[in-house]
Amino acid sequence: MTNQQTIRVRFAPSPTGYLHVGGLRTALYNFLFARKHGGTFVLRIEDTDRSRHVEGAIENLTATLRWAGLDFDEGPGKEGAFGPYVQSQRLELYRQYANELVDTGSAYPCFCSPEELDTMRQAQMERNERVRYDRRCRSLTPEEVDAKMAEGTSYVIRLKVPMFGDVAVNDIIRGNVTFQLNILDDQVLLKSDGFPTYHLANVVDDHHMQITHIIRGEEWLPSVPKHVLIYQALGWEIPQYAHLPLLLNPDRSKLSKRQGDVAVEDYRARGYLPEALVNYLALLGWSESKDREFYSMPELIEAFSLERVGKSGAVFDLEKLNWMNGQYFRNLPIEQRMELCRPFLEPAGYDIRDENRYRKIIEALTPRIQVPVEAREKAEFFFSKHVPEDETADVFLYSESGQKVVHLLLEKLKDIEDVTAERFSEILADAKSTLGVKGKYLFMPVRLALTGETHGPELPLIAEILGKEECLKRLQEELRA
């Protein structure tokens, strides 16, 4: 780890159409590691599965990474010395190495059809044997191979995995891990459609892009021996590995859709702050030894180290993310809070054209908003009133004392030209002394009449925002008999 060469890391997602929060964390750790050590952060698109091609996925991915503040140094749209950075544009390179591996005896063509393989697996299962490729094509003679080729039989290229021995790597996070080779299948390296599999493309690119540290999810740990074998067969240096603990669903299975939102854009769409998401994600699996919760990106870069990444999976806790987002939200200047909530209020048909009034609404709502999307329902009563129907209304609003309060307020409000929070407080104080009603018997009828709700921001604030006319109208509506 203390070598002189420049550190180069990469985030290598497959373009599925959206960025997974687990992916974002992997990208983040790569990014932090690169920035911390003055290295280079590469984005590489692993689109070797033609059947999974998603239109616009790359643009979406880069846009989301940019939103999160993870700018890559090299990648699609930002060509460096090692491009292209999209694997489907590097097919020739993989083919070349697949052939080299065949030529040097480290790999071999396999002509088994999917149907054939399926039959083989069925038979193995019936005999209760381990399901694996039986290597029937491994012992084909050159003549047999030539004959098949001449026939035009489609084929794949498989890695010739040694029958015995083992492979050991020293993972930065997990320490020494050893794998027995005899249980390994002869991996397909090049598919019959000429595309490489993940294993080949990944190794070839990591080498060609001079990646020094492979920081990726733990789900890749079992493929390490396959990759090491390819590095060795090609005579290449093996990079450092760091396998990150998985992000988990509340039931501790690997974080997935169906158990909540996993697409970063889902969070973005709800108004989550990238700083909060990044801060939260950074702490899922990594921590400085201190009791510290809040980190800006520069602070993360300063504090981050792979050695302090944990080993066990971390449950993605939405509650804590929400709390953290609320913390960030409240610390924002009012203008930013207004901008963040705007996209949720305008579509709801709320009239927030009066900037001054809108500002007051957001100020009043801020303490009870964790995520901007919540602003819509929290602000609703400012724009339309629910009829208070529950028993609370009967007790406080439609009771004799409640009606008296409403009456008095109506009278008092008529006399003033403008409702300010201050004026309204005075009026309430007046009502308290003239009627001898206090506490919730004073406030609740007003709150219910004004908002239709039993809870919300401070009443004087609400009254000021509603304005005189609206206050009068809403109070009037609640007058009975």
Partner RNA sequence: GGCGCGUUCGUCUAGCGGUUAGGACGCAGCCCUCUCAAGGCUGAAACACGGGUUCGAUUCCCGUACGCGCUACCA
272 binds RNA (CB under 7 A): no
219 binds RNA (CB under 7 A): yes
Structure token pair of residue 371: 């995520």
Structure token pair of residue 67: 């939103």
153 binds RNA (CB under 7 A): no
Q: Which is nearer to RNA, 5 or 128 (CB)?
A: 128
The amino acid at 457:
P
Q: Is 468 considered catalytic here?
A: no
Whole-angstrom CA distances from 181 to 52, 186, 202 are 31, 10, 20
Q: Cα–Cα distance between 466 and 197 in angstroms, integer? A: 63
Q: Cα–Cα distance between 107 and 204 in angstroms, integer? A: 15
Q: Which is nearer to RNA, 346 or 367 (CB)?
A: 367
Per-residue x/- track, 52-81, RNA (CB under 7 A): x-----------------------------
Q: Which of 48, 62, 106, 212 binds RNA (CB under 7 A)?
A: 48
Structure token pair of residue 307: 């050695």
315 binds RNA (CB under 7 A): yes
CB of 5 to RNA, least distance (A): 26
Q: In what order do the strands lie in the sheet with 213-217?
A: 40-43, 8-11, 213-217, 240-244, 166-171, 175-180
356 binds RNA (CB under 7 A): no
359 binds RNA (CB under 7 A): no
CB of 162 to RNA, least distance (A): 15
480 binds RNA (CB under 7 A): no
314 binds RNA (CB under 7 A): yes
Stretch of 31-39, 63-71, 185-193, 345-353 contacting RNA, by CB under 7 A: 185-193
373 binds RNA (CB under 7 A): no
CA dihedral (295, 297, 302, 305) positive or negative = positive
E-strand ranges in 40-145 read 40-43, 107-110
Q: Cα–Cα distance between 297 and 28 in angstroms, integer? A: 10
Look at the block and give the residue holding tokens 């290598």: 12
14 binds RNA (CB under 7 A): yes
The amino acid at 109:
P
Q: Which is nearer to RNA, 78 or 174 (CB)?
A: 174
386 binds RNA (CB under 7 A): no
The amino acid at 234:
L
Site for RNA in 114-133 (CB under 7 A): 114, 117, 130-133
Residues annotated catalytic, as ranges: 257
